[in-house]
Chain A
Amino acid sequence: MSITFSVFLAFIMGILIVLAPILNGKNAASIGTIQTSFLNYFSAFITALLISSLYTPNISSLSLPPISTLYTGTLIGCVVILLLNWFTVKIKAFYIVVLPFIGQMGMGMFIDYLSSSQFDLKKIVGIALVIVGLLIQQRDKAPQTDKIKPQE
Protein backbone atom coordinates (compact mmCIF):
# COMPACT_ATOMS: atom_id res chain seq x y z
CA MET A 1 0.00 0.00 0.00
CA SER A 2 1.30 3.45 -0.88
CA ILE A 3 2.41 5.80 1.89
CA THR A 4 0.02 8.55 0.74
CA PHE A 5 -2.98 6.23 0.96
CA SER A 6 -1.80 4.95 4.36
CA VAL A 7 -1.54 8.53 5.62
CA PHE A 8 -5.09 9.20 4.42
CA LEU A 9 -6.40 6.03 6.09
CA ALA A 10 -4.64 6.83 9.39
CA PHE A 11 -6.37 10.24 9.35
CA ILE A 12 -9.76 8.62 8.69
CA MET A 13 -9.02 6.22 11.54
CA GLY A 14 -8.69 9.24 13.85
CA ILE A 15 -12.16 10.44 12.83
CA LEU A 16 -13.65 6.99 13.49
CA ILE A 17 -11.92 6.90 16.91
CA VAL A 18 -13.79 10.09 17.89
CA LEU A 19 -17.18 9.06 16.48
CA ALA A 20 -17.47 5.57 17.99
CA PRO A 21 -17.13 6.60 21.70
CA ILE A 22 -19.55 9.54 21.27
CA LEU A 23 -22.21 7.21 19.83
CA ASN A 24 -21.37 4.47 22.36
CA GLY A 25 -21.57 7.03 25.16
CA LYS A 26 -25.12 7.96 24.12
CA ASN A 27 -26.10 4.31 23.92
CA ALA A 28 -24.49 3.55 27.29
CA ALA A 29 -26.59 6.28 28.88
CA SER A 30 -29.77 4.67 27.62
CA ILE A 31 -29.09 0.92 27.92
CA GLY A 32 -26.00 0.52 30.15
CA THR A 33 -22.22 0.29 29.75
CA ILE A 34 -21.79 -3.47 29.55
CA GLN A 35 -24.67 -3.91 27.13
CA THR A 36 -23.19 -1.18 24.91
CA SER A 37 -19.70 -2.74 24.98
CA PHE A 38 -21.22 -6.11 24.15
CA LEU A 39 -23.17 -4.67 21.19
CA ASN A 40 -20.07 -2.80 20.05
CA TYR A 41 -18.06 -6.02 19.85
CA PHE A 42 -21.05 -7.95 18.51
CA SER A 43 -21.48 -5.77 15.42
CA ALA A 44 -17.71 -5.28 15.07
CA PHE A 45 -17.21 -9.06 15.05
CA ILE A 46 -20.00 -9.67 12.51
CA THR A 47 -18.61 -6.91 10.25
CA ALA A 48 -15.08 -8.29 10.67
CA LEU A 49 -16.29 -11.77 9.66
CA LEU A 50 -18.00 -10.37 6.56
CA ILE A 51 -14.85 -8.48 5.56
CA SER A 52 -12.66 -11.53 6.23
CA SER A 53 -14.88 -13.70 4.04
CA LEU A 54 -14.50 -11.19 1.22
CA TYR A 55 -10.72 -11.29 1.60
CA THR A 56 -10.49 -15.06 2.00
CA PRO A 57 -13.20 -16.67 -0.15
CA ASN A 58 -11.92 -20.17 0.54
CA ILE A 59 -12.29 -20.32 4.30
CA SER A 60 -11.08 -23.93 4.50
CA SER A 61 -7.65 -22.86 3.24
CA LEU A 62 -7.39 -20.48 6.15
CA SER A 63 -4.56 -21.20 8.54
CA LEU A 64 -4.37 -19.31 11.78
CA PRO A 65 -0.97 -18.62 13.26
CA PRO A 66 -0.30 -20.82 16.30
CA ILE A 67 -1.10 -19.43 19.74
CA SER A 68 1.91 -17.33 20.53
CA THR A 69 3.02 -13.85 21.44
CA LEU A 70 1.18 -12.70 18.29
CA TYR A 71 -2.09 -12.81 20.23
CA THR A 72 -0.73 -10.56 22.98
CA GLY A 73 -2.37 -7.53 21.32
CA THR A 74 -5.90 -8.89 21.67
CA LEU A 75 -5.39 -9.61 25.37
CA ILE A 76 -3.88 -6.16 25.94
CA GLY A 77 -7.01 -4.72 24.26
CA CYS A 78 -9.21 -6.20 26.99
CA VAL A 79 -6.92 -4.99 29.79
CA VAL A 80 -6.87 -1.50 28.26
CA ILE A 81 -10.69 -1.25 28.35
CA LEU A 82 -10.71 -2.12 32.05
CA LEU A 83 -7.94 0.41 32.79
CA LEU A 84 -9.70 3.14 30.74
CA ASN A 85 -12.92 2.60 32.68
CA TRP A 86 -10.99 2.81 35.94
CA PHE A 87 -8.98 6.00 35.46
CA THR A 88 -11.33 8.08 33.28
CA VAL A 89 -13.61 8.73 36.25
CA LYS A 90 -10.66 9.64 38.50
CA ILE A 91 -8.68 12.25 36.54
CA LYS A 92 -9.40 15.47 34.63
CA ALA A 93 -10.44 15.27 30.97
CA PHE A 94 -7.19 17.02 30.03
CA TYR A 95 -5.13 14.15 31.48
CA ILE A 96 -7.45 11.51 30.00
CA VAL A 97 -6.42 12.70 26.55
CA VAL A 98 -2.84 13.82 27.08
CA LEU A 99 -1.30 11.14 29.32
CA PRO A 100 -2.28 8.04 27.31
CA PHE A 101 -1.14 9.86 24.18
CA ILE A 102 2.29 10.65 25.63
CA GLY A 103 2.55 7.01 26.73
CA GLN A 104 1.58 5.86 23.23
CA MET A 105 4.02 8.13 21.44
CA GLY A 106 6.90 7.32 23.81
CA MET A 107 6.32 3.59 23.54
CA GLY A 108 5.63 3.85 19.79
CA MET A 109 8.97 5.56 19.28
CA PHE A 110 10.69 2.85 21.34
CA ILE A 111 9.02 0.03 19.34
CA ASP A 112 9.87 1.73 16.02
CA TYR A 113 13.45 2.04 17.25
CA LEU A 114 13.58 -1.67 18.18
CA SER A 115 12.23 -2.73 14.79
CA SER A 116 14.33 -0.39 12.66
CA SER A 117 17.31 0.22 15.02
CA GLN A 118 17.51 3.74 13.66
CA PHE A 119 17.43 6.76 15.86
CA ASP A 120 15.88 9.44 13.70
CA LEU A 121 16.33 12.93 15.16
CA LYS A 122 13.75 14.42 12.77
CA LYS A 123 11.17 11.97 14.03
CA ILE A 124 11.87 12.81 17.67
CA VAL A 125 11.51 16.54 16.97
CA GLY A 126 8.27 15.74 15.10
CA ILE A 127 6.88 13.76 18.04
CA ALA A 128 7.86 16.56 20.45
CA LEU A 129 6.00 19.09 18.25
CA VAL A 130 2.92 16.84 18.09
CA ILE A 131 2.90 16.56 21.90
CA VAL A 132 3.36 20.34 22.33
CA GLY A 133 0.53 20.87 19.82
CA LEU A 134 -1.74 18.53 21.77
CA LEU A 135 -0.92 20.29 25.05
CA ILE A 136 -1.74 23.71 23.52
CA GLN A 137 -4.88 22.33 21.92
CA GLN A 138 -6.20 20.75 25.11
CA ARG A 139 -5.01 23.40 27.59
CA ASP A 140 -7.96 25.74 27.77
CA LYS A 141 -10.64 23.43 26.57
CA ALA A 142 -14.09 23.85 28.07
CA PRO A 143 -14.65 21.50 31.03
CA GLN A 144 -17.00 19.29 29.00
CA THR A 145 -15.51 15.85 28.57
CA ASP A 146 -15.56 14.97 24.93
CA LYS A 147 -13.07 12.20 25.35
CA ILE A 148 -10.64 11.45 22.59
CA LYS A 149 -10.08 7.80 23.21
CA PRO A 150 -7.26 6.03 21.47
CA GLN A 151 -7.85 2.52 20.09
CA GLU A 152 -10.66 0.83 21.88
Chain B
Amino acid sequence: LPKFVALITGMLLAVMVYFNGQLSEASSPAISNAIFQGIGLVVFTIALILQKKSLKMHYFTFPFLIPGILSCFTVLISNTVVTVLGVSTMIGLSLFGQVSASLIIDQLGLLGKPKNPVNKSQLTGLVFIAVGLILML
Protein backbone atom coordinates (compact mmCIF):
# COMPACT_ATOMS: atom_id res chain seq x y z
CA LEU B 1 0.00 0.00 0.00
CA PRO B 2 2.70 2.61 0.78
CA LYS B 3 4.07 2.18 -2.76
CA PHE B 4 0.62 2.70 -4.23
CA VAL B 5 0.15 5.81 -2.07
CA ALA B 6 3.53 7.12 -3.30
CA LEU B 7 2.30 6.76 -6.88
CA ILE B 8 -1.02 8.46 -6.04
CA THR B 9 0.86 11.28 -4.28
CA GLY B 10 2.75 11.97 -7.50
CA MET B 11 -0.51 12.06 -9.44
CA LEU B 12 -1.97 14.47 -6.88
CA LEU B 13 1.11 16.69 -7.26
CA ALA B 14 0.55 16.98 -11.00
CA VAL B 15 -3.10 17.90 -10.39
CA MET B 16 -2.01 20.42 -7.76
CA VAL B 17 0.47 22.07 -10.12
CA TYR B 18 -2.27 22.28 -12.76
CA PHE B 19 -4.85 23.86 -10.45
CA ASN B 20 -2.27 26.29 -9.02
CA GLY B 21 -1.52 27.31 -12.60
CA GLN B 22 -5.24 27.85 -13.23
CA LEU B 23 -5.53 29.94 -10.07
CA SER B 24 -2.52 31.95 -11.28
CA GLU B 25 -4.23 32.66 -14.58
CA ALA B 26 -7.39 33.76 -12.78
CA SER B 27 -5.46 36.03 -10.37
CA SER B 28 -1.67 36.23 -10.78
CA PRO B 29 1.25 33.88 -10.07
CA ALA B 30 2.23 36.00 -7.05
CA ILE B 31 -1.29 36.08 -5.55
CA SER B 32 -1.82 32.38 -6.18
CA ASN B 33 1.49 31.72 -4.41
CA ALA B 34 0.46 33.87 -1.42
CA ILE B 35 -2.86 31.98 -1.16
CA PHE B 36 -1.05 28.63 -1.34
CA GLN B 37 1.49 29.57 1.35
CA GLY B 38 -1.19 31.26 3.50
CA ILE B 39 -3.32 28.11 3.59
CA GLY B 40 -0.25 26.02 4.46
CA LEU B 41 0.54 28.45 7.29
CA VAL B 42 -3.01 28.15 8.66
CA VAL B 43 -2.85 24.33 8.53
CA PHE B 44 0.46 24.17 10.40
CA THR B 45 -0.59 26.82 12.93
CA ILE B 46 -3.54 24.55 13.76
CA ALA B 47 -1.16 21.57 13.92
CA LEU B 48 1.10 23.46 16.35
CA ILE B 49 -1.84 24.31 18.60
CA LEU B 50 -3.30 20.79 18.50
CA GLN B 51 0.08 19.22 19.32
CA LYS B 52 0.68 21.88 22.03
CA LYS B 53 4.13 22.72 20.57
CA SER B 54 5.65 26.07 21.48
CA LEU B 55 7.82 28.40 19.42
CA LYS B 56 10.95 30.09 20.70
CA MET B 57 12.27 33.48 19.66
CA HIS B 58 15.47 32.09 18.18
CA TYR B 59 13.39 30.08 15.65
CA PHE B 60 12.67 33.33 13.84
CA THR B 61 16.24 33.68 12.60
CA PHE B 62 17.84 33.23 9.22
CA PRO B 63 18.73 29.50 9.24
CA PHE B 64 15.12 28.56 10.04
CA LEU B 65 13.56 31.05 7.64
CA ILE B 66 15.65 30.43 4.50
CA PRO B 67 13.98 27.13 3.44
CA GLY B 68 10.59 28.87 3.40
CA ILE B 69 11.95 31.61 1.16
CA LEU B 70 13.23 28.92 -1.25
CA SER B 71 9.84 27.14 -1.13
CA CYS B 72 8.12 30.42 -1.87
CA PHE B 73 10.15 30.88 -5.05
CA THR B 74 9.57 27.23 -6.01
CA VAL B 75 5.81 27.72 -6.07
CA LEU B 76 6.08 31.15 -7.70
CA ILE B 77 8.18 29.71 -10.52
CA SER B 78 5.88 26.72 -10.90
CA ASN B 79 2.83 29.01 -11.15
CA THR B 80 4.55 31.19 -13.74
CA VAL B 81 6.08 28.49 -15.88
CA VAL B 82 3.38 25.79 -15.95
CA THR B 83 1.11 27.83 -18.21
CA VAL B 84 3.96 28.25 -20.73
CA LEU B 85 5.48 24.75 -20.73
CA GLY B 86 2.63 22.48 -19.64
CA VAL B 87 2.65 20.15 -16.64
CA SER B 88 4.79 17.23 -17.85
CA THR B 89 7.56 19.30 -19.48
CA MET B 90 7.88 21.53 -16.43
CA ILE B 91 8.06 18.55 -14.06
CA GLY B 92 10.66 16.90 -16.31
CA LEU B 93 12.85 20.01 -16.41
CA SER B 94 12.60 20.45 -12.68
CA LEU B 95 13.64 16.80 -12.29
CA PHE B 96 16.73 17.54 -14.37
CA GLY B 97 17.51 20.44 -12.01
CA GLN B 98 16.90 18.21 -8.98
CA VAL B 99 19.16 15.42 -10.22
CA SER B 100 21.92 17.86 -11.25
CA ALA B 101 21.79 19.64 -7.89
CA SER B 102 21.86 16.35 -5.96
CA LEU B 103 24.83 15.09 -7.99
CA ILE B 104 26.77 18.30 -7.34
CA ILE B 105 25.92 18.20 -3.62
CA ASP B 106 26.99 14.53 -3.40
CA GLN B 107 30.15 15.03 -5.47
CA LEU B 108 31.39 17.97 -3.41
CA GLY B 109 29.86 16.96 -0.07
CA LEU B 110 28.01 20.27 0.30
CA LEU B 111 25.51 21.24 3.02
CA GLY B 112 26.96 18.78 5.51
CA LYS B 113 26.23 15.74 3.30
CA PRO B 114 28.98 13.10 3.08
CA LYS B 115 31.11 13.18 -0.10
CA ASN B 116 29.78 10.62 -2.53
CA PRO B 117 31.51 10.82 -5.93
CA VAL B 118 29.25 10.68 -8.97
CA ASN B 119 29.39 7.31 -10.75
CA LYS B 120 28.93 6.31 -14.39
CA SER B 121 25.33 5.12 -14.15
CA GLN B 122 24.27 8.37 -12.50
CA LEU B 123 25.75 10.33 -15.40
CA THR B 124 24.18 7.93 -17.93
CA GLY B 125 20.83 8.49 -16.23
CA LEU B 126 21.29 12.26 -16.45
CA VAL B 127 22.04 12.01 -20.19
CA PHE B 128 18.85 9.92 -20.75
CA ILE B 129 16.82 12.55 -18.87
CA ALA B 130 18.39 15.36 -20.93
CA VAL B 131 17.68 13.60 -24.26
CA GLY B 132 14.09 12.87 -23.13
CA LEU B 133 13.61 16.54 -22.27
CA ILE B 134 14.91 17.73 -25.61
CA LEU B 135 12.31 15.47 -27.28
CA MET B 136 9.58 16.87 -25.03
CA LEU B 137 10.35 20.53 -25.78
Q: Is the CB of A34 within 8 A of B47?
A: yes
Contact status of A70 and B74, CB under 8 A, knowing A1-B80, A44-B37, A136-B124: no
Of B12, B70, B73, B132, which is within 8 A of A126 by CB? B132
Nearest Cβ on chain A to B133's Cβ, whole angstroms = 6
Is there an interface contact between B76 and A26, defined as CB atoms closer than 8 Å? no
Chain A contact patch, size range: 35 or more
Chain B residues in 8 Å Cβ range of A70: 19, 22-23, 26
Choice from B14, B65, B76, B121 contacting A48 with Cβ under 8 Å: B76
CA distance A102 to B93 in the complex (A): 14
CB < 8 Å: which of B11, B27, B75, B127 contacts A65? B27
Given known A14-B94, A38-B41, contact A127–B136 (CB-CB < 8 A): yes
Q: Which of A9, A83, A150 contacts B91 (CB 8 A)?
A: A150
> At the interface, yes or no: A119 with Cβ under 8 Å from chain B?
no
Contact partner, B97, options A17, A128, A134, Cβ 8 Å: A17
User: Given known contacts A52-B30, A80-B12, is B64 in contact with A27 (CB within 8 Å)?
Assistant: yes
Interface of A is mostly: helix
- Known interface pairs A10-B85, A76-B12, A76-B15. Does A15 touch B72 (Cβ–Cβ under 8 Å)? no
B12 contacts A9, C-beta separation under 8 Å: no
Q: Tell me the nearest residue of chain A to B88, going by C-beta.
A: A108
| A24 to B15 CA separation, bound complex (whole angstroms) | 25
> Which residue of A has the minimal Cβ distance to B40?
A41
Chain B: how many interface residues by the 8 Å CB criterion?
106
- The answer to whether A10 touches B126, judged by C-beta atoms less than 8 angstroms apart, is no
Give residues 78-137 of B contacting A (CB, 8 Å): 78, 80-81, 84-102, 105-106, 111-114, 116, 119, 121-122, 124-137
Chain A residues in 8 Å Cβ range of B28: 52, 55-56
Partner of B74, one of A16, A69, A91: A16
Query: What residue in chain A is nearest B92 (Cβ atoms)?
Result: A130
B16: contacting residue among A42, A56, A76, A84, CB under 8 A: A76
- CA–CA, A54 to B98, complex, Å? 29
Query: What are 18 of the A-B contact pairs (CB < 8 Å)?
Result: A9-B77, A11-B100, A13-B94, A15-B97, A21-B67, A23-B70, A54-B30, A56-B28, A73-B16, A83-B9, A96-B6, A103-B12, A112-B89, A123-B135, A129-B131, A142-B116, A148-B102, A151-B75
